[in-house]
Structure 1
Amino acid sequence: MSTHTHPSSAESLITAQGGRITRTRVAVLEILLAADQSLTHDEIGLALAEQGIKHDRVTLYRTLDWLVESGVAHKMAGDDRARRFGVAASGPHEHAHFHCDRCGKVVCLEGLQPAVAVNLPGGYQLDRAELVLHGACPTCGKGA
């Protein structure tokens, strides 16, 4: 009888980027994969605690940094200065985000590529661009 188990999609994503499989990396990535919006460090930490996974803030920051640096996840700054993290669906690329000004939910708009036409002064080099659209999400927009 075979006891072989298939790696989770989180494990596969980590391995594909040459990363070491750790309990925290897998759990954090599974949380991001299951989320319907970008999550803050604190929200991810709470989700880990709810799953009974012990962690410290530094390990979580390092895990999130690795996921972003490897292109598995992306981060963006919210109006509240909190960084939000989400899965980079098709690798590192520029895409837009939608921020609900009523409930604070931030979602990736994968199909909407920001058209950035920038004429930078001499010597400047653009590494990335962020586009955040503001308004009301479908839930908050009902009855408006």
Structure 2
Amino acid sequence: MNGKTDPGRAFAHHDHAHCAGDTLARAEAEAARRGLRFTPVRKRVLQILLEAHRAMGAYEVLDRLSAEGFGNQPPVAYRALEFLVEAGLAHRVQGLNAFAACMHPGETHAPVFLICRDCDAVAEAQAAPVRAALDQVAGALGFAIERASFEAVGLCPACRARAEGRA
């Protein structure tokens, strides 16, 4: 797919190590291109989000950091997560009060987050048609959208199969 991450990968069987490694490499390249300081704790937080392939709360990230010797104070996790979101390397998933790694670092995109209500897996998919429709409606009212977030909650294929008794 032209080096881009398949939006449904979070819900499909795939080479997760390759997926996470490729996305991390693109995030590091983007940070370097923009002259951002990608400290060891920031990098580790992004790795933790990539390893999970789901939205994670700040305290869950902090628990992992603490277990690995990066510190156990909430600002450690919050500062790293804030940096990653501001740099476009992670997204805040409002509906879960959590964070997910951006699967398209360095690319201009309008993501929609497909969130599994059972396992918290999050797939980042393109929402360009949704954003275009929203821009059109807003424009008709003279409103200029600066930022928008799209989230949909449902069941991923695995949880749906379990719910239907097929797993």
Task: Give 1:55-74 correspondences, 5 Å limit.
Answer: 55-74=72-91
Bigger relative contact order (CA 8 A; separation at least 6): 2
Displacement of 1:11 in angstroms is 4.4
Note if contact 1:32-1:87 (Cα within 8 Å) is conserved in structure 2.
Answer: no
Query: Structure 2 length as normaliser, TM-score?
Result: 0.65
RMSD: 2.5
What is the CA–CA distance in structure 2 between the aligned matches of 1:139 and 1:93, rounded to whole Å? 27
Aligned residue identity for 1:137: C
The answer for the alignment partner of 1:3 in structure 2 is none
Gap runs ≥5 in structure 2: 1-23
Query: Structure 1 length as normaliser, TM-score?
Result: 0.74
Deviations 1:98-143 (A, max 9, x none): 122233x141233554523132233x32122222222211222124
Gap runs ≥5 in structure 1: 1-7
Deviations 1:51-94 (A, max 9, x none): 2321421232122111111122221202x5x1323224243521
Q: 1:33 to 1:16 in 2, by over 3 A?
A: farther
| 2:122 pairs with 1:128 | no
What is the CA–CA distance in structure 1 between the aligned matches of 2:52 and 2:129, rounded to whole Å? 23
Q: Paired residues, what number?
A: 133
The answer for the alignment partner of 1:109 in structure 2 is 124
| 2:109 pairs with 1:89 | no
Q: Which has the higher helix share?
A: 2
